[in-house]
Amino acid sequence: MAFRRATVIGDYVDVNASFLPEAETIFANTYVAAQMITLSYEKHMTCMGPETITNLTTANRGLQLSDISLNLPTTIFKGFLNDYYDDEGWWALAWIKAYDLTRNPRYMTIAQTIFQDMTYGWDNGTCGGLWWDKGHTAINAIENELLISVAAHLANRVASQDKSAYVKWAKSTWDWFQATGMINVRGSINDGIDIKTCKNNLGQAWSYNQGVILGGLVELSRLTSNSSYLDTATKIANAAINRLGDAKHVIREPCEPNCGSDGPQFKGIFMRNLQMLQQAAPSPLFATTINANADSIWANDRDPNNNLGLIWAGPYQKGTASDHSSACDALIAAAALEAKTPP
C-alpha cells in the first residue's frame, strides 16, 4: 500500500541522503494524489490477517460522494481517513517520517489530523482500547500499537504546549494494552482480544504486531527518559525472534507461502522497528538477526532482475510490490546498521 511504500522510501533516505530530493517529490505527489482519489474497499479478518479487497478507484476532482450511485457494502472515502483505524495509523507514521526528513509542516498537520480521527474510535464501554474499524467489529493489537506509536511520535515532535495530550494517549493506551493480556506468557503478542470476554483471543502472533510496538516503546522511552520501555521492547523482540526465526534467525511468517494482500508487508514492518530498537538498545541478537535476514534475501530470495520475494529464506517465487518493499525494509535496516557500525 502507498503508506507503507512511502515509509520505506523515507527509511532509504536515512541511509542514502542523496535520494532526498526524489523522496521529497514522491512525498509531495503522494500528498496531493492520495487526496484526489475516491476509493472504496472492504477489509476482512482472515486466518492470514487483515485482507483488503479493493472495489473501486476513481479520480476525484470536485466529485461529490452523492453523485456516485453504487451498490457496494462499504464506505466511500477520500484522503487519508477511512473506515479502518490501522490504515489511518500507517498513514500518520508515513507523514511523520516525511516531516522528519523535509520539515514541511503540512506533513505534521496531516499526521495530527489523522491521529485526532483515530482517537474517536476509542471504546469506553466494551473492553476499552481502540476499535479496529468504525463499524466496531473487532479490537486488535495492531491499531492499538499504532495509536501508541503515533501518539509518542507526535509528542516527541510537537511544540511543548501541545505535548501533554499526546503523552497521555501514548501512556494510557500502553497501560491498557499491557492489562489486556495480549502479550502472552511467551512474551509474544497475539492478534487481538475477544470482545465477548475482553481477553486475549489467542490469535496468530504476526510479525508486524511484534514490530510496531517496538517503535512505539522506543519513542515512549525517548519521551519519558524511562528505560523500562526499552526493557519491555527487548523482551518482546527476543520472543519474536525465537518464535518466528529459523535456526539462522531468518524470519518466516506463519502464512507463508500464501499471505494474501496485506501479509507480505508484515516482516518488513518488524525489521524496520527492530532496527529502531537496535539503535536505542543495542543487542548482538538484534544485529545478527537484521544482517541474517538481509543476507538471506539477497542470496536466496532475489531474481536476476533484483526483484525480491516473500520467502526470505528462499527459494524465490515471483513476488508483488508488497513483497519487494517488505524485503527492502530488511535490506535498509541492515544498511542502517552498517552505517552506524564503527570501521
pLDDT in tens, 104-135: 999 999 999 999 999 999 999 889 999 999 99
The stretch 225-237 carries a mean pLDDT of: 99
The stretch 285-292 carries a mean pLDDT of: 99
Q: Is the pLDDT of residue 50 over 80?
A: no
Minimum mean pLDDT range among 23-32, 165-174, 215-224: 23-32
**Is residue 103 one of the residues assigned to a domain?**
yes
pLDDT bin (cut points 50, 70, 90) of residue 152 is: very high
pLDDT bin (cut points 50, 70, 90) of residue 44 is: low
Q: How far is CA 127 from CA 131, 132, 138, 177, in A?
A: 10, 13, 10, 11
DSSP for residue 105 = H
**Is residue 82 one of the residues assigned to a domain?**
yes
Radius of gyration of the chain measured on its C-alpha atoms = 19
Can you give the pLDDT at residue 36? 75
Which three-class secondary structure state does DSSP give residue 199?
strand
Q: Name residues whose C-beta falls within 8 Å of residue 27's C-beta, 6 or more positions apart in sequence.
A: 6, 9, 10, 98, 101, 102, 104, 107
Q: Domain containing 19: what range?
A: 1-120
Domains in the chain, number:
1
Q: Name residues whose C-beta falls within 8 Å of residue 2's C-beta, 6 or more positions apart in sequence.
A: 30, 34
**Is residue 73 one of the residues assigned to a domain?**
yes
pLDDT bin (cut points 50, 70, 90) of residue 69 is: very low
Q: What is the pTM of this model?
A: 0.90
**Is residue 114 one of the residues assigned to a domain?**
yes
The whole-chain average pLDDT of the chain stands at: 90
**Is residue 102 one of the residues assigned to a domain?**
yes
- Between 297 and 36, whose confidence is greater? 297
The stretch 152-180 carries a mean pLDDT of: 98
- Between 310 and 68, whose confidence is greater? 310
Can you give the pLDDT at residue 77? 53
**Is residue 6 one of the residues assigned to a domain?**
yes
What are the backbone angles phi and psi of residue 193, rounded to the nearest 5°? -120, 150
Minimum mean pLDDT range among 59-68, 111-120, 122-131, 263-272: 59-68
Q: Name residues whose C-beta falls within 8 Å of residue 58's C-beta, 6 or more positions apart in sequence.
A: 37, 38
pLDDT tens across 20-29, in order? 999 999 999 9
**Is residue 279 one of the residues assigned to a domain?**
no
Can you give the pLDDT at residue 4? 74
**Is residue 72 one of the residues assigned to a domain?**
yes
pLDDT bin (cut points 50, 70, 90) of residue 3 is: confident
pLDDT over 90 percentage in the chain:
80
Can you give the pLDDT at residue 6? 87
Which three-class secondary structure state does DSSP give residue 340?
coil
Can you give the pLDDT at residue 46? 57
Q: Is the pLDDT of residue 68 over 60?
A: no
285 exposure class (CB count in 10 Å sphere: 0-12, 13-18, 19+): middle
Q: What is the rounded CA–CA span in Å between residue 111 and residue 144?
A: 16
